[in-house]
Amino acid sequence: MFDFLIVGAGFAGCTLANCIATNLNRRVLLIDVRNHIGGNAYDSYNPDGVLVHNYGAHIFHTNSKKVIDYLSQFTQWRVYQHQVLAAVDGDLYPIPLNLNTINKLYALNLSSQELQNFYAEVREKYDRIENSEQAVVGKVGRDLYEKFFKNYTHKQWELWPHELDASVCARIPVRTNRDNRYFGDKYQLMPLHGFTRMFEKMLAHPNIKVMLNTSFQEVESWLKFDHLIYTGPIDQFFSYKYGKLPYRSLRFEFQTHDQEYFQPVAVVNYPNEYDFTRIVESKHITGQKHHKTTTYYEYPQAEGDPYYPVPRPENRALFQQYKQEAEKLESVTFIGRLAQYQYYNMDQVVAAALSVFENRISKL
- 169 falls in which pLDDT band (50, 70, 90)? confident
**Residue 230 sits in the same domain as residue 316:** yes
pLDDT score of 130: 93
**Residue 163 sits in the same domain as residue 33:** no
pLDDT at 172 over 90: no
**Residue 108 sits in the same domain as residue 156:** yes
180-198: per-residue pLDDT in tens? Answer: 999 999 999 999 999 999 9
- Kindly state whether residue 209 falls inside one of the protein's structural domains: yes
pLDDT (mean) for 91-96:
97
How many domains does the chain divide into? 2
**Residue 209 sits in the same domain as residue 352:** yes
Widest pairwise Cα distance in the chain: 69
pLDDT (mean) for 130-149:
96
- Kindly state whether residue 72 falls inside one of the protein's structural domains: no
CA distances from 320 to 109, 258, 345 (A): 50, 50, 22
Cβ 252 vs Cβ 296: under 8 Å: yes
Nearest to 210 by CA among 10, 30, 19, 34: 30
287-327: per-residue pLDDT in tens? Answer: 999 999 999 999 999 999 999 999 889 999 999 999 999 99
**Residue 20 sits in the same domain as residue 160:** no
**3-state SS, one letter per residue, for 59-75:** CCEECCHHHHHHHCCCC
Q: Which of 170, 187, 220 is the last residue before a domain boundary?
A: 170
**Residue 33 sits in the same domain as residue 160:** no
pLDDT (mean) for 277-296:
97
**Residue 102 sits in the same domain as residue 240:** no
Structural domain including 29 reads: 2-37+203-246+310-363
- Kindly state whether residue 129 falls inside one of the protein's structural domains: yes
- Kindly state whether residue 48 falls inside one of the protein's structural domains: no
**Residue 213 sits in the same domain as residue 156:** no
Cβ 28 vs Cβ 21: under 8 Å: yes
**Residue 228 sits in the same domain as residue 335:** yes
* C-alpha to C-alpha distance for 333 and 86, rounded to whole angstroms: 41
- Kindly state whether residue 263 falls inside one of the protein's structural domains: no
The secondary structure of residue 235, as a DSSP letter, is H
Crossing angle between the packed helical segments 195-202 and 11-19, to the nearest 10 degrees:
30
* C-alpha to C-alpha distance for 113 and 200, rounded to whole angstroms: 49
**Residue 16 sits in the same domain as residue 159:** no
CA within 13 Å, CB half, 83: 13
**Residue 237 sits in the same domain as residue 345:** yes
pLDDT score of 248: 95
pLDDT score of 135: 95
pLDDT score of 32: 98
Whichever domain contains 339, its CATH number is: 3.40.50.720
Nearest to 15 by CA among 302, 187, 231: 231
* Other residues' Cβ atoms within 10 Å of the Cβ of residue 240: 12
Q: What is the DSSP string of 22-56?
A: III---EEEE-SSSSSSGGG-EEE-TTS-EEETTS
- Kindly state whether residue 179 falls inside one of the protein's structural domains: no
- Kindly state whether residue 337 falls inside one of the protein's structural domains: yes
pLDDT (mean) for 220-231:
95
pLDDT score of 300: 97
Cβ 96 vs Cβ 171: under 8 Å: no
Cβ 310 vs Cβ 342: under 8 Å: no
Q: Which of 170, 195, 230 is the last residue before a domain boundary?
A: 170
- Kindly state whether residue 287 falls inside one of the protein's structural domains: no
The rounded mean pLDDT for the chain is 96
CA distances from 73 to 40, 81, 166, 183, 362 (A): 21, 22, 38, 24, 20
Return the amino acid letter for 187.
Answer: Y
pLDDT at 167 over 90: no
pLDDT score of 170: 82
pLDDT (mean) for 96-110:
97
pLDDT (mean) for 257-275:
98
CA distances from 209 to 2, 202, 360 (A): 10, 12, 22
pLDDT (mean) for 5-31:
98
Q: What is the DSSP string of 243-296?
A: -PPPEEEEEEEEEEESSS-SSSSSEEE-SSSSS-SEEEEHHHHH----SSEEEE
**Residue 209 sits in the same domain as residue 327:** yes
31-85: per-residue pLDDT in tens? Answer: 999 999 999 999 999 999 999 999 999 999 999 999 999 999 999 999 999 999 9
